[in-house]
């Protein structure tokens, strides 16, 4: 009986350590998520994102959307895995962009994508974006990690 309790407590400690490590990995990318939201909301200049993987989300580069005044964005991490230097983020986002008269100009609902990330000088950046016009799941996420 005493052995079972020790094994159980050991397993709990291991699970707690894994949870703490994942929490640290997850929240280590908070700044990156804030920056991505800023880009999706049209708050970043073309020059800020030029040459970066997140440039694909900067609608300021598309003159068709010059009249957009409001962009509502929801961006959520589904899964994060990294070694505090390189890694991957699986995200889901929604965006709705409106002009001054309230007409919707573009949007995405439940868009799923994977980002390959790299940390340089204490700052995360997205170095590759994998997004398809259909929903991506964990099977595709793991295939992307293996291939990249």
Q: What is the pLDDT of residues 56-82, one digit of tens each?
A: 999 888 888 899 999 999 999 999 999
In the prediction, which pLDDT does 148 show?
72
Q: In the chain, where does DSSP find H-type helix?
A: 2-27, 30-40, 46-49, 138-147
Buried b (16+ CB within 10 A) or exposed e, 10-38: eeeeeeeeeeeeeeebbebbeebbebbbb
Q: Which tens digit of pLDDT belongs to each residue from 100-117?
A: 999 999 988 888 999 999
Report, as an integer, the average pLDDT of 89-95.
94
Report, as an integer, the average pLDDT of 131-138.
72
- Taking the C-alpha atoms of residue 4 and residue 20, their distance in angstroms, rounded to an integer, is 24
Task: Give helix then strand counts, H and E, for the chain.
Answer: 4, 4
- Taking the C-alpha atoms of residue 52 and residue 128, their distance in angstroms, rounded to an integer, is 9
Q: Go through the domains of the chain in sequence order and give each one's CATH number.
A: 30-147 (3.10.450)
In the prediction, which pLDDT does 2 show?
83
pLDDT band with cut points at 50, 70 and 90 for residue 126? very high
The reported pTM is: 0.81
Contact 88, 117 (CB under 8 A): yes
How high does pLDDT run on average in the chain? 90
């Amino acid at each position: 009986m005493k052995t079972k309790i020790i094994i159980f407590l050991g397993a709990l400690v291991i699970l707690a350590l894994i949870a703490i490590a994942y929490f640290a990995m997850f929240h280590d990318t908070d700044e990156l998520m804030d920056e991505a939201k800023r880009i999706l909301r049209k708050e970043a200049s073309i020059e800020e994102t030029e040459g970066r993987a997140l440039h694909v989300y900067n609608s300021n580069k598309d003159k068709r959307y010059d009249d957009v005044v409001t962009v509502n964005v929801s961006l959520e991490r589904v899964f994060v895995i990294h070694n505090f230097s390189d890694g991957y983020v699986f995200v889901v986002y929604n965006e709705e962009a409106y002009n001054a008269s309230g007409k919707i100009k573009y949007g995405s609902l439940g868009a799923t994508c994977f980002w390959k990330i790299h940390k340089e000088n204490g700052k995360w950046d997205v170095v590759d974006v994998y997004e398809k016009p259909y929903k991506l799941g964990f099977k595709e996420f793991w295939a992307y990690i293996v291939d990249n």
